[in-house]
Structure 1
Amino acid sequence: MQNLRQDLTYALRQLRRSPGFAAVAVMTLALGIGANTAIFSLLDQALLRALPVEHPEQLVVLEGTGKAWEGHSSSHGGDTEAYFSYPMYRDLAAQVSPKVMAGLIGTSPSDFDVTFKNASQIASGEVVSGNYFTLLGARAFKGRLLVASDDTAPGANPVAVVSYNFWQAHLGGDSSLVGQTITLNGHPFQVVGIAAPEFHSAVWGELPALFVPMSMLDQAIPGRGARLTNHKDRWMNILGRMAPGVTTEAAQNSLAPLWHALRAEELKALGKRSQRFTDGFLTNSRLLVLPGAQGFSYQRGGLRTPLLVVMAMALLVLVIASVNVGSLLLVRAAGRVREFSLRSALGANQGRILGQLLLEGLLIGTFGGGVGLLLAPIALRALVRQLAGGDDVSMFSSSLDARVLAFNFAAAVGVSLIFSMAPALQLRKPNLTIALRGSNASASGGMLSLRRVIVCLQIGLSVLLLIASGLFVRTMQKLRAVDPGFDATRLVGFTIAPQLAGYTPDRVAALAKHVEETVGALPGVRSVAVDDSSILQGSSSGGNITLEGYTPAPEEEVDAEKSMINPGFFAAMRIPLLAGRSFSEADSATTPLVAIVNEALAKRYYGSARNAVGKRLADGGSNKPVYDTEIVGVVPDFKQTDLRSAVDPSLFLPLEQIPAMRAPARLYFHVRTALPTAETISALRRAMQQLDPALALDNLRTMDEQIDQSLANDRLTELLAISFGLLATLLAGIGLYGVLAYVTAQRTREIGVRIALGSSRAAISGMVLSDVLKLAGISIAIAIPAALGLARLLKSQLFGVSAADPVTFAVVTILVAFVAIVSALLPARRAANVDPIEALRTE
């Protein structure tokens, strides 16, 4: 301990004697460690952290495979196979063996029109089975949570649990809320409890404001109460808790016979089906039991690859920072050869000397980690705001927990060992004779070669990061250049939820018309589009269709995205007709059913747009379809889900012809205006308030803002990639300058001899430049093949850009060469200005 205390005191003294070196080394590491800490926090929250419930390792997520199905499917994100009908959940939960599963829970998101103390707002919620909180082991902050007795007969238990965040932010944090009544979608619900602050949902990424029992589905999602008995409507997710000691494989094998039996009953209820359908629906269908400690997620799949890519880039930056500090330590060690040789001559063993170097490196790493810990929350808050996309809440937390602090500490210690090894290895066997007589020769051979290797490594890693950055930049350029298929200029959108505001399903179509007329009469408004599906908000809705005269191939599912629109939709969105006609006011509930399809559907099933006009179709899949809908028009493909995805076959139906039982839960309006959009937004707020104060406006923004928000994750990846790439290049440039300055100083005598023998100053400068170009050339030659391989791993994140994009590789090569030359200019100038007389006098 005494030796350690002495070495520590000496190490601190050495750092105080070189404040410039210490500051550069600490800040270099702080940038790398801080960036890694912030990115790791996001990655940990999204991919690694378990739900804050009892024994999360026992949780599982169920998925049901099977290529054939019939009916309707609602996907909120994630794998579509993770959605089940309520009758399937009910039967699985009732018949599963308690020796295998302690229980199953069902959940589905829903929006609520929440009214409390005469104030209304739209809030997200979750419809859950009665055993939801009990099985998860969640606790209440106040009152109680939902129990099985709250989930009995439909409509019999109007109770709700409020989340802690919503209670604090929107309900005033009133401790007397428990026992009071709030209004949800026009129905009174009693608040029975407030969830604990740390619990949000069994679905990661969701921040529901409140929870209601599944038996209240018709009140939670108006008009959807039939889902509780419909085997052909898949809309909810199932999670389970395995019995102690049971593995996921054992649980899956145990549930297989039950799953097969229940599917057989559903197939029997569908009537006679083809062998192909039977094989897809029953024979080849399996119930998968997947680890669920992190819960189910609608968004994790889309975040996994970008977060892993960005984390890998951040780690590369940290490696470059470590190598850079190691390079600085080599320079510093060159000046301390005499010191360590003298200590060795006086009896210090090799372990004591190497321990001193490692301790000094550990101090630098600790200080760098400490400063990085101060920078990480700043960077993390900025990243969370970017990911929130303007919302007031985010799935990510900007606070650092113990796991992140442990990562920060491990990173600091790890990089300390890495960069301390360079001088430690170089000085493990000092040449006492040369060092003690004061010569620098001992530092010029192996140390110089090691520094060259380090610089080549820095340049190579920066090439990898710059190529990744360039590919993401090119991807964003391509995404921004994507034609959505409609005119987004001066287009303002907003959403209303009629049924949540108390409108019965049979009044939704009339309300859509009334709002369209009211908004259309505002000053500057040119036209209004109405749709039941969001545009470029990442969601979609679709189902089976049966086309007259088209025979599906084996294993082929005839599916289409389905939208209900007003007659002026295509005109307002400035989407032209390719064939046939658009909808008109004459297409009413009393006239024959009509439809418009997009070009993708027309070409896929009819060969061309013109061939599709006049054909008939039936909604849904059936052995005995009723072809009651005529295709009257074809429109070009346009982006509906997002800019990345290919356009799927789509079917458009008139809102007026939709039966009340299928009335949409939400209506999306897009207003084409000639006035500045800010004026139109203000006018829309006033007009809707006058029309009906209960109709809360949601997602009120311009289409340009919506497009920008849809690219938020891609833009964040691009920004981080550019930042890491430029930081890596800066570090590589500093490292390259350092080695060239060191080499030039070591070759002062040689340069003096060359000048004395007649070499021109241009030749001397050229010698230094050729040295740097050689180092850069070797680094680039090694890095390019590696970059080609790594770029292929990024292929899923690219859009419109090849993994071997020649523009990116060429620009990166030129940029690295330019940085190398700039780094060499000052050392080259110093070499050219060497005084031969002074140089020959030096050793």
Structure 2
Amino acid sequence: MLTTFLQELRYSLRTLMAQPMFTLIAVATLALGIGANTAIFSVIDGLYLRDMPYKDGDRLAIVHNTYPKMGLEDAGTSIPDYFDRKTQAPSIEDIAIYNNVGFNLADAGAAPERLVALRTSASLFSTLQVQPALGRVFSEENEAPGADRVIVLSHALWENRFNADPAIVGRDIRLDAQPYRVLAVMPEGFDFPNRNVGAWVPFAFTPELKSANERGNEYSSSVARLAPGATLEKVDAEMAQIVRTNVEQLGPDIAGFVGATGFTGRARWLREYQVGETRTMLLVLQGAVLMVLLIACANVANLMLTRVVARQKEISVRNALGATRWRIARQLLVDALVLATIGGGLGLLLAKGSIAGFPLLGITSNQSGYDFRMDAPVLGFALLVTIVAAGLAAILPMISLLRLNIYDTIKEGGRLGSGGRRAAASRNVLVVAQIALATTLLIGAGLLLKSFHLLQSQDPGFRSDGVATALIDLPETKYVDGAAQARALEQIVDRLETIPGVQSAAYTSTLPFSGNNSSGSYSIEGLEVAEGTSPPHAMQRQVEGDYFGTMGIALKRGRLFDARDRADGAPVVIIDEFMAERYFPGQDPLGKRVRRGSSDPDADLPWATIVGVVGTIKHGRLGENVEKETIYWPVAQAPQSSGALVVKANVPPQTLNAAIREAVLAFDPEQSLFGVQTLDERISRSLNNQRAPMVLLGIFAVVALVLSAIGIYGVLAYSVGQRTGELGVRMAIGAGRSQILALILRHGAWLTGIGLGLGLVGAFAGGQAMRTQLFGVGGADPVIFLLVPVLLAAIALFSCWLPARRATRIDPLVALRHE
């Protein structure tokens, strides 16, 4: 058996080397299909199939609060809620609470560096079941104020900043000008919750933080390890019971709040939370590359069918000499395996290069520890695709050969040169399939392209051109109160405005398209909230300097903040048009008053007067529908230590990065900046989830179009070549060139029409599957469904016209001699 296979393999290699053009085209076609499938599968494998980088990661879940009646699905976790769930939810085996914190790391005279750390309970490490590579992690003893100046370093920070010095454990480093004792270094690959985090410090829980007054302050997140056999539904039910218990214990005010907002807890699997909503689009892309592979296999099958016809004399001689029909057909399978194996090898190189190039499309290794790499499962998938591709490419030629009456076919082929009606029918079927698949892909790409164009054309409500941005975090150990923070931000903004080329500068607590947000409940004087109705809830922003002018946010009514709006001035706010239209329809909102939090008239919270109305802006995505109002406060009256600097320039904003850093360092040599980007870059990055699928599907659709055009051209060109005698006879008895042209074009148009019809059906189904990924475009957009078939038909008919034109130039005498 092995000897026979080796003989067939050697024979296959000799015959393929004897036809280098056929071999090159077939290998390149299969390499495209196999490489594209492998590259997309590596993403699916990295995000969904590979084990998580934590022990028993499938038991880890994110636990958060939710307010369904307020439209707040993910509201974070408060500290009292964390302790409630830690002690009262039996389905939770272990749980941790954490939030991001930034430090200015300026150690041993080095330049200040922004360190993104995680402030977390000590239970994080037991919840994730991870041990340090060096030293020991902090314990619950470090959760007490005064005992929390300790730190655990990430492996990357330890290597890059401290030269992998094992003696760093036990030493102090300076964060925000304060000493922190290094307790441990985590193992390589531990990056929770993402790769931006460089260290972990203890959460110091004061009695005030644990008190009921902290309920509703949900600036933290929580991760839990569920008990064996526990489900998300069971955890949700237990958290709902905790809420009911608290309502009974804390009184009617809490009961009214819970009834009005629908407050409860929810759990989501950690993988789902980290990966996000990418599953549908990845499946669409995997389906798209599978179509490309099918088209590639169809092309190779067509080439092999043509080769079978060309080798009929050889095959008949082999059959006459005793070679069985099955052995001859098996040789075709070996040929296909050789072609697919070579194509698979090149496809792996193509897939590897594609994975390396994914960042150019905005597809990056997930920041939460998920990698795209050529590991064993991906290589196994590539091997499977290679074998399947070989089988698909060989099956029709093998069937055609097994059903072939060699002697009758030789007679028919000698007269008409078609290679047999069955072979011709097989080639036609393959071309129809190619056109159908290409139509489906092109329409899908067209839908995404139109969607992306509409998305890009959306007005965010501000002007992003010429604006540089940088994130800043003032350490509270150095700027100890709101007044100090407000003064520091005012002085920094003043320094930025002195930079040559800068038109204006400002500060905001939350920058649009930065991925951050801040929101909270508020009250409107005179507005009574009906029982069982949630209170108003708005996005809250603190700004300093000419923020609205710098961002190009239009003033619609009233005035902007000015020198009157200091800490000792009358409290004021600016609202957006959305809020004005929502709560003051047909009224002048100027002079109305709002305040944060409770509507209780006895609450010790100041009322702020509305002095201006500005345009409504989009904060997170160009495609979002604004459903929540925004309130702006002056920093002097509502201090904030962390946020973003924005600089409007009349020079390219990216050229100001160094000058912005120098201006901040001149104010405070230990203050770092991070996230330095233009506002245009931030908006562009927000479109990555739409841009990458559009580009990839567009590439696959173009490849499919080219392969389909080659396929239909090849079939008709071969048909014309084999029908030279027939066409000569027709012309000799009076057929004109236009009739010959029409004859060939009719054949091509018939194949194209059937393929387009089937493709439209497939495109409709694909459009319905992609509806959630489209913006402003239906899954059966009439423009795309009309233009794409017209374009494809034109290209297909041009591919038909080339061999048809050649047919009209046949000399009848030469053709008759050929016959």
* TM-score w.r.t. length of structure 1: 0.89
2:121–2:143 contact (8 Å) kept in structure 1: no
Instruction: Say which SS state the counterpart of residue 151 (structure 2) adopts.
Output: strand
Cα distance change on mapping 1:385 and 1:159 into 2, 3 Å: farther
The aligned residue for residue 743 of structure 1 is: 719
Question: Structure 2 matches for 1:10-49, cutoff 5 A?
Answer: 10-49=11-50
How far did 1:757 drift? 1.5
The aligned residue for residue 596 of structure 2 is: 619
Q: 1:85 aligns with which of 78, 89, 109?
A: 78
How far did 1:672 drift? 2.0
Cα distance change on mapping 1:229 and 1:580 into 2, 3 Å: closer
Q: 1:125 aligns with which of 117, 121, 141?
A: 117
- The separation in 2 between residues aligned to 1:84 and 1:403, in whole angstroms, is 37
Cα distance change on mapping 1:348 and 1:713 into 2, 3 Å: same
Q: 2:184 aligns with which of 170, 177, 193?
A: 193
Question: Structure 2 matches for 1:666-815, cutoff 5 A?
Answer: 666-815=642-791
Q: 1:248 aligns with which of 206, 231, 235?
A: 231
Cα distance change on mapping 1:385 and 1:675 into 2, 3 Å: closer
1:399-430 Cα shifts (integer Å, max 9, x gaps): 42222222222221222222221212222222
1:378-407 Cα shifts (integer Å, max 9, x gaps): 111111354378x99896645422222222
Q: 1:636 aligns with which of 582, 606, 615?
A: 615
| 1:457 partner letter | A
Cα distance change on mapping 1:551 and 1:393 into 2, 3 Å: closer
The aligned residue for residue 51 of structure 1 is: 52
- The separation in 2 between residues aligned to 1:96 and 1:407, in whole angstroms, is 42
Structure 2: runs of 5 or more not aligned: none
- The separation in 2 between residues aligned to 1:124 and 1:171, in whole angstroms, is 16
Q: 1:316 aligns with which of 273, 291, 309?
A: 291
| 1:595 partner letter | V
1:765–1:831 contact (8 Å) kept in structure 2: yes
Cα distance change on mapping 1:722 and 1:442 into 2, 3 Å: closer
- The separation in 1 between residues aligned to 2:349 and 2:130, in whole angstroms, is 33
Cα distance change on mapping 1:674 and 1:261 into 2, 3 Å: closer
How far did 1:827 drift? 0.9
1:579–1:635 contact (8 Å) kept in structure 2: yes
- The separation in 2 between residues aligned to 1:577 and 1:233, in whole angstroms, is 32
Instruction: Say which SS state the counterpart of residue 671 (structure 2) adopts.
Output: coil
Q: 2:203 aligns with which of 195, 203, 214?
A: 214
1:576–1:636 contact (8 Å) kept in structure 2: yes
The aligned residue for residue 540 of structure 1 is: 517
How far did 1:511 drift? 0.9
- Structure 1 residue 573 corresponds to structure 2 residue 557: no
1:653-681 Cα shifts (integer Å, max 9, x gaps): 111111xxxx4242322222234435544
Cα distance change on mapping 1:744 and 1:69 into 2, 3 Å: closer
| 1:194 partner letter | V
The aligned residue for residue 499 of structure 1 is: 475
The aligned residue for residue 600 of structure 1 is: 578
| 2:245 partner letter | A
Instruction: Say which SS state the counterpart of residue 611 (structure 1) adopts.
Output: coil
RMSD after superposition: 3.1
Instruction: Say which SS state the counterpart of residue 204 (structure 2) adopts.
Output: helix
Cα distance change on mapping 1:396 and 1:731 into 2, 3 Å: farther
- The number of equivalent residue pairs is 810
| 2:686 partner letter | S
| 1:579 partner letter | R
How far did 1:597 drift? 1.0
How far did 1:731 drift? 0.9
- Structure 1 residue 239 corresponds to structure 2 residue 230: no
- The separation in 2 between residues aligned to 1:721 and 1:257, in whole angstroms, is 44
How far did 1:68 drift? 5.4
| 1:248 partner letter | T
How far did 1:189 drift? 2.0
The aligned residue for residue 112 of structure 1 is: 103
Cα distance change on mapping 1:52 and 1:778 into 2, 3 Å: same
Q: 1:401 aligns with which of 375, 386, 407?
A: 375
Instruction: Say which SS state the counterpart of residue 613 (structure 2) adopts.
Output: strand
The aligned residue for residue 507 of structure 2 is: 530
1:219-261 Cα shifts (integer Å, max 9, x gaps): xxxxx978998222223333333444x2426xx4377346513
| 2:343 partner letter | G
1:720-766 Cα shifts (integer Å, max 9, x gaps): 12211111111111111111112222322221121111222233123
Cα distance change on mapping 1:582 and 1:828 into 2, 3 Å: same
1:337–1:427 contact (8 Å) kept in structure 2: no
- The separation in 2 between residues aligned to 1:296 and 1:262, in whole angstroms, is 23
How far did 1:270 drift? 6.4
The aligned residue for residue 184 of structure 1 is: 175
1:377–1:398 contact (8 Å) kept in structure 2: no
The aligned residue for residue 519 of structure 1 is: 496
Question: Structure 2 matches for 1:277-356, cutoff 5 A?
Answer: 277-278=258-259, 281=262, 285=264, 287-288=266-267, 290-292=268-270, 294=271, 296-297=273-274, 300-356=275-331
2:138–2:183 contact (8 Å) kept in structure 1: no
How far did 1:561 drift? 0.8
Cα distance change on mapping 1:682 and 1:431 into 2, 3 Å: same
- The separation in 1 between residues aligned to 2:125 and 2:24, in whole angstroms, is 52
Structure 1: runs of 5 or more not aligned: 74-78, 219-223
- The separation in 2 between residues aligned to 1:637 and 1:110, in whole angstroms, is 30
How far did 1:716 drift? 2.4
- The separation in 2 between residues aligned to 1:719 and 1:688, in whole angstroms, is 39
2:492–2:663 contact (8 Å) kept in structure 1: no
| 2:221 partner letter | N
1:697-731 Cα shifts (integer Å, max 9, x gaps): 22323323333233233332332122111111111
2:428–2:715 contact (8 Å) kept in structure 1: yes
- The separation in 1 between residues aligned to 2:245 and 2:631, in whole angstroms, is 32
Q: 2:811 aligns with which of 832, 835, 840?
A: 835
The aligned residue for residue 486 of structure 1 is: 462
The aligned residue for residue 587 of structure 1 is: 565
Cα distance change on mapping 1:19 and 1:281 into 2, 3 Å: same
Cα distance change on mapping 1:24 and 1:599 into 2, 3 Å: same
The aligned residue for residue 135 of structure 2 is: 144
Instruction: Say which SS state the counterpart of residue 612 (structure 2) adopts.
Output: strand
How far did 1:823 drift? 1.4
Instruction: Say which SS state the counterpart of residue 725 (structure 1) adopts.
Output: helix
- The separation in 2 between residues aligned to 1:229 and 1:309, in whole angstroms, is 48
- The separation in 1 between residues aligned to 2:404 and 2:748, in whole angstroms, is 28
1:269-326 Cα shifts (integer Å, max 9, x gaps): 36435668437546xx4654x544x3741xx225444433333322222222222222
Between 401-410 and 207-216, the greater mean CA deviation after superposition: 207-216
How far did 1:349 drift? 4.3
The aligned residue for residue 76 of structure 1 is: none
How far did 1:16 drift? 1.8
Cα distance change on mapping 1:238 and 1:706 into 2, 3 Å: closer
